[in-house]
A = this chain, B = another copy of it.
Amino acid sequence: MIYNKITSGILSSIKLIVGDDAVITSHTDLEKYSHDETEDLHYYPEVVVKPKTPQEIAALMRLCNENLIPVTPRGAGTGLSGGALAVMGGLLISMERFNKVLGIDEQNLQATVEPGVVTEEFMNQVAAKGLLYPVDPASKGSCFIGGNVSHGSGGPRVVKYGTIREYILNLEVVLPSGDIIWTGANTLKYASGYNLTQLMIGAEGTLGIITKIVVKLIPGPTHDALLLASFSTNENACSAVSAIFRAGIVPSALEFMERRGVEWVKEHDGIAFDLKDEIEAFLLIEVDGTNQDVIFADCEKINEVLEEFDCKDVLFADTSAQKEELWRMRRTMAVSVKSNSIYKEEDTVVPRASLPQLIKGIKEIGNKYGFESICYGHAGDGNVHTNIIKGLMSDDDWNNKLKDGIREIFELTVSLGGTISGEHGIGMVQKDYMSIKFAEVHFEIWRGIKKVFDKNGILNPGKIF
């Protein structure tokens, strides 16, 4: 596909649509929009706009379609796969002004929210009414809910409450043609033709730009308990994970953390934590519900399971301050790793009982290619973020040889029944590994679907496939 550049004439048209104050063209101001949280990548769009209405976006889409200008939609730029990067230049549409919670419907336990609302702000507004929206990625304090939808984002509580797919009922979307549609209905059940809502979730902004989101809410839990269990081997920690479910417990979070990650969080965040020499891995386990006794009984059962896997120590968080501290340890791990070293993050996911083999295999691949890795994440879902640390690796090895190592990690992941991304999306960074998992017929179908929505291929080009 050959795209055109944004000429001064097109720029004038853009300004007519959104107003001068919503247009950014200076290199300095574009910098902020040239990267996300993915490694060290920079791609400058030619122009950034900050529209306020679906109609403005529709007009921009028509203009760019007529002139074959690439359009990249962008949420908060917290993505980890480069999905919001304008890799072909062109127009970047920042959704930051779509920042209102339009309504919380307490009769129906639904909310309508714009895509540029920060996830945690939305969760807090909902919680103030005693309700729960449980999809909370680690970046919840800064990411936008629209980005979460577009990437099929998860978080710790998916393990109990289900994926984001279960909470998104309906979407208002601007299509590349400029048409504005609602994808479905504001109903809990929906069996009315191909499900376009589900197709948009995880489409990484390549099929349309989401402008309103109707979300299902549920009554929130009133009590919870948090345990930190320590193990002398990764394998014991990972093996305990599926045993907890087999004991009939569905925790509201079941997170795995490697020792090295905890060490770096201690350094970076100054979290006071007594890290014993023998400990190699941790499980952070949360149980929630509406009855304290049941939660205690669940904790007892979990304790029994942990003992079977040679758990060295269980720390029970007594106060909400302690709980916050333990959660902070887990949530800041990505930032701590980043501040310590150049790194790459791969979002590996396998059936949960295969976690021990996955982690073991990743370490072996690291030994072969000479890199250290730190694994942590949503063990209850079999979803572990594999952070590859540059450390002492040469630039040449890092930029070239490492690709083969990452390929081996994904080959292992796929051989264990897993896939290329659990919740970060494919974007541009994981794109090269898709052929490990998928055959040409998948690519043909995806390209076909893309073409149905976006015949000129203007929307978020260079992503997924």
A interface, CB within 8 angstroms of B:
105-110, 130, 151-154, 158-159, 162-163, 165-166, 175, 177, 179, 181, 184-196, 198-199, 201-203, 207, 218-220, 222, 242, 245-246, 248-250, 289-291, 293-294, 297, 347, 349-354, 378, 381-383, 414, 417-426, 430, 434, 437-439, 441-442, 445-446, 448-453, 464-465
Q: Is the CB of B190 within 8 A of A199?
A: no
**Which residue from chain B places its CB closest to the CB of A450 in the assembled complex?**
B194
> Which residues does chain B contribute within 8 Å of A177, judged by CB atoms?
441
**Which residue from chain B places its CB closest to the CB of A419 in the assembled complex?**
B185
Q: Is the CB of A191 within 8 A of B422?
A: yes
Q: Is the CB of A163 within 8 A of B189?
A: yes
Q: Is the CB of A383 within 8 A of B422?
A: no
| Residue among A192, A245, A353, A381 with most chain B CB within 10 A | A192
| A–B Cβ pairs within 8 angstroms, 9 of them | A106-B246, A108-B382, A110-B351, A152-B189, A162-B162, A187-B417, A189-B423, A190-B421, A195-B202
Say whether, besides A107-B242, A187-B422, A245-B109, A181 and B219 are in contact (CB < 8 Å).
no
> Which residues does chain B contribute within 8 Å of A383, judged by CB atoms?
187-189
Q: Is the CB of B245 within 8 A of A192?
A: no
> Which residues does chain B contribute within 8 Å of A448, judged by CB atoms?
451-453
A108's partner among B293, B294, B352 (CB-CB below 8 A) is B352
Say whether, besides A195-B199, A195-B202, A219-B250, A108 and B353 are in contact (CB < 8 Å).
yes
A425's partner among B163, B181, B191, B450 (CB-CB below 8 A) is B191
Q: Is the CB of B194 within 8 A of A446?
A: yes
With both chains docked as a complex, state the minimum distance between the C-beta of A145 and any C-beta of chain B, in angstroms.
Answer: 16
Q: Is the CB of B353 within 8 A of A152?
A: no
Can you name 11 extra interface pairs (CB under 8 A) apart from A109-B245, A198-B198?
A: A106-B246, A162-B162, A187-B350, A188-B383, A189-B383, A191-B423, A192-B419, A194-B199, A194-B207, A198-B199, A445-B453
A291's partner among B158, B165, B184, B294 (CB-CB below 8 A) is B294
> Which residues does chain B contribute within 8 Å of A382, judged by CB atoms?
108, 187-189
- How far, in angstroms, from A347 to B159 measured CA to CA in the complex? 31
With both chains docked as a complex, state the minimum distance between the C-beta of A326 and any C-beta of chain B, in angstroms.
Answer: 23
A442's partner among B186, B193, B291 (CB-CB below 8 A) is B193
**Which residue from chain B places its CB closest to the CB of A430 in the assembled complex?**
B192
Which 5 residue pairs across A and B have the least CB separation, nearest first? A448-B452, A107-B353, A189-B422, A185-B419, A198-B198
**Which residue from chain B places its CB closest to the CB of A107 in the assembled complex?**
B353
- How far, in angstroms, from A380 to B439 measured CA to CA in the complex? 42
> Which residues does chain B contribute within 8 Å of A109, judged by CB atoms?
242, 245-246
Q: Is the CB of B181 within 8 A of A442?
A: yes
> Which residues does chain B contribute within 8 Å of A378, judged by CB atoms?
189
| Residue among A159, A181, A191, A449 with most chain B CB within 10 A | A191
With both chains docked as a complex, state the minimum distance between the C-beta of A106 and any C-beta of chain B, in angstroms.
Answer: 6
Say whether, besides A165-B198, A291-B293, A242 and B108 are in contact (CB < 8 Å).
yes
A151's partner among B110, B191, B289 (CB-CB below 8 A) is B191
Say whether, besides A165-B198, A181-B441, A194-B446, A188 and B352 are in contact (CB < 8 Å).
yes
A351's partner among B108, B350, B420 (CB-CB below 8 A) is B108
With both chains docked as a complex, state the minimum distance between the C-beta of A108 and any C-beta of chain B, in angstroms.
Answer: 4
